Structure 1
């Protein structure tokens, strides 16, 4: 895997040439690092699935460099899509639309819809424009593991696999992702808009743009096991050591400090509200704090990876109260958890 810098014009042009020749390129975005291929090259897109070990029914997001490119991918662009693109693009919002026949099932996971987004990262936009084609890309991690927020995370993932398998051809190194969590996904392929995945843009913000209530966006109930968009697998974002999620920060504090946890203190990495961090450290735990849901949404993947590299044998973290970004954080914690305890 060749590494080039995002601020190198020559490096970006080289990565674009790899895309044009059917290759796979890892690139930075404002959310997480993506692993991309030409969205109109089914063979290249199937390579992404092999490299990641990704289930073939888990669709990819297609990244575009301009709103005008959406018509190459979608056959029906409703007014709601135009409203959301105007409000949130470029940015961390993905729209699910009815696909054109030119878009391969290798991209859509066999669905008749396509997920499209225009990133705000300058490096991502420069790369996509240089490639001259929409880029189909999931996160650039081994499937099921924590999403990468820095190029070193990608290197770690693919060098740490027990069995050395295929790797991406190029990695564009562009520093740490500013948002640190995947995009929000809104389904506009049906009569009523619905949020399929919570992310950096809240349900309340999307609802405000559409002139509806957040409850209307969250009303749809999905069939058990249904995968209508990326990030919907039950087990996902998992660190290399177990993660135990508590119902509240207070419950976590009570159980850990009372010794009701089957690990010695020094073996537990605690992710806690900042006001509790000192208490956990004094008790012998490794602990990192956060000040609210916005900070944790930016740093969750960074902290999960940091914990897995530490001497800890298990991670403890609480679910967050409230709506907004707390929904996105809680979604990731639930899918990443080895165990969720109400105690």
Structure 2
């Protein structure tokens, strides 16, 4: 049975943190909140501990992990080189939802990096996460705390739903504030490249360091080492079939309305994962709606995205309908997650 400890997200009880750090130090697994999603943590420098992450999640060994540290200086414990661009980025985004890919030091286990010579590292912006890393005294490797490929967890209950009995402890620090994973930026190349869009937008990064490249959205072969987490073609998926409609808002909503009507004729239970202002067009239908927030508030849409998928799964819908929210700002990360979660794209 997994132990659940509840603590204040802003002022975590240090005795509870000490209990959690003792689990990390004895090669156990602790799920903890970050500003993005809940992470499943283990000592990043201990191969046996890291192996437990892959086993608990059912995660393939070719999907690398992100290592969490408390400062840019601590990156030097695992990175062979921390170039000057890191300091520029850190001044704006550390702590925060930005992961940097750096050359790794030899003592970082190959299982953390999927055998690559680079390591992904970030400083989380959450008091519970930072307290846990400090108390543990080691860098903490932590992918999302869910079954591999399933919708990412943004609450402790989501973690419990997926991993109860498979991990030692969950620290419940409430719902996460960003709601999608960190941006992964490879700074070993020039110009730097966004490998995975996330909680820091491309536009924000380019204001600090100039133009960056964006990795194409085509997934690597599932058999080869991934250059970043979150790049496999099928990822973040709810239990229900999810249809993503791309294109301009009005035409997308009209297509979704027709799909909802047809699905109800076929006797299917329909869930709507849409902006609040998208929903009136569906008022005549008996759908399960999860409003993500205003269509002009991409932060709210990102924050509620995974929670909405899980809530609609809890309603036992068998079809979720959603639309694209553009590629500007956080829209790019939302687009990426929906693209990989979708069973069908129209």
Q: Given the two structures, how large is their TM-score scaled by the length of structure 2?
A: 0.91
- Paired residue secondary structure (2:283): helix
Name the CA distance, whole Å, in 1 between partners of 2:217 and 2:175.
35
Seen in structure 2, the aligned counterparts of structure 1 residues 132 and 314 have a Cα distance that, compared at 3 Å, is same
- Paired residue secondary structure (1:240): coil
Name the CA distance, whole Å, in 2 between partners of 1:140 and 1:322.
27
1:147 aligns with 2:152: yes
- Paired residue secondary structure (1:278): helix
Could you tell me which residue of structure 1 aligns to residue 214 of structure 2? 218
Name the CA distance, whole Å, in 1 between partners of 2:170 and 2:258.
46
Kept in 1, the 8 Å contact 2:257–2:281? The answer is no
Kept in 2, the 8 Å contact 1:207–1:217? The answer is no
| Aligned-residue RMSD, C-alpha | 1.8
Equivalent residues in 2 for 1:181-200, closer than 5 Å: 181-200=180-199
- Paired residue secondary structure (1:245): strand
Name the CA distance, whole Å, in 2 between partners of 1:58 and 1:259.
35
Offset of residue 271 of structure 1: 1.7
Could you tell me which residue of structure 1 aligns to residue 283 of structure 2? 281
Seen in structure 2, the aligned counterparts of structure 1 residues 97 and 298 have a Cα distance that, compared at 3 Å, is same
Aligned counterpart for 2:61 among listed residues 56, 60, 68 = 56
Name the CA distance, whole Å, in 2 between partners of 1:223 and 1:317.
22
Structure 1, unmatched stretches of 5+, are 160-165
Kept in 1, the 8 Å contact 2:242–2:321? The answer is yes
Kept in 2, the 8 Å contact 1:181–1:200? The answer is yes
Equivalent residues in 2 for 1:121-270, closer than 5 Å: 121-159=126-164, 167-210=166-209, 212-213=210-211, 216-218=212-214, 224-225=220-221, 227-248=226-247, 249-258=249-258, 262-264=262-264, 267-270=269-272
Seen in structure 2, the aligned counterparts of structure 1 residues 221 and 52 have a Cα distance that, compared at 3 Å, is closer
Q: How many residues align?
A: 332
Name the CA distance, whole Å, in 1 between partners of 2:219 and 2:160.
36
Deviations 1:173-224 (A, max 9, x none): 11000111100110012232000010111001011110x13xx422678774
Offset of residue 281 of structure 1: 3.1
- Paired residue secondary structure (1:119): coil
Kept in 1, the 8 Å contact 2:219–2:233? The answer is no
Name the CA distance, whole Å, in 2 between partners of 1:171 and 1:257.
40
- Paired residue secondary structure (2:263): coil
Could you tell me which residue of structure 2 aligns to residue 90 of structure 1? 95
- Paired residue secondary structure (1:14): helix
Bigger CA drift: 128-137 or 253-262?
253-262
Kept in 2, the 8 Å contact 1:257–1:283? The answer is no
Could you tell me which residue of structure 2 aligns to residue 271 of structure 1? 273
Bigger CA drift: 277-286 or 307-316?
277-286
Could you tell me which residue of structure 2 aligns to residue 46 of structure 1? 51
Seen in structure 2, the aligned counterparts of structure 1 residues 90 and 324 have a Cα distance that, compared at 3 Å, is same
Kept in 1, the 8 Å contact 2:57–2:163? The answer is no
1:4 aligns with 2:9: no
Could you tell me which residue of structure 2 aligns to residue 162 of structure 1? none
Name the CA distance, whole Å, in 2 between partners of 1:303 and 1:101.
41
Name the CA distance, whole Å, in 2 between partners of 1:18 and 1:259.
49
Deviations 1:284-334 (A, max 9, x none): 222233313222111100100011011421100001224111110000000
Structure 2, unmatched stretches of 5+, are none
Seen in structure 2, the aligned counterparts of structure 1 residues 170 and 219 have a Cα distance that, compared at 3 Å, is closer
Kept in 1, the 8 Å contact 2:17–2:132? The answer is yes
Seen in structure 2, the aligned counterparts of structure 1 residues 2 and 338 have a Cα distance that, compared at 3 Å, is same
Q: Given the two structures, how large is their TM-score scaled by the length of structure 1?
A: 0.92
Bigger CA drift: 92-101 or 5-14?
5-14
Name the CA distance, whole Å, in 1 between partners of 2:204 and 2:334.
16
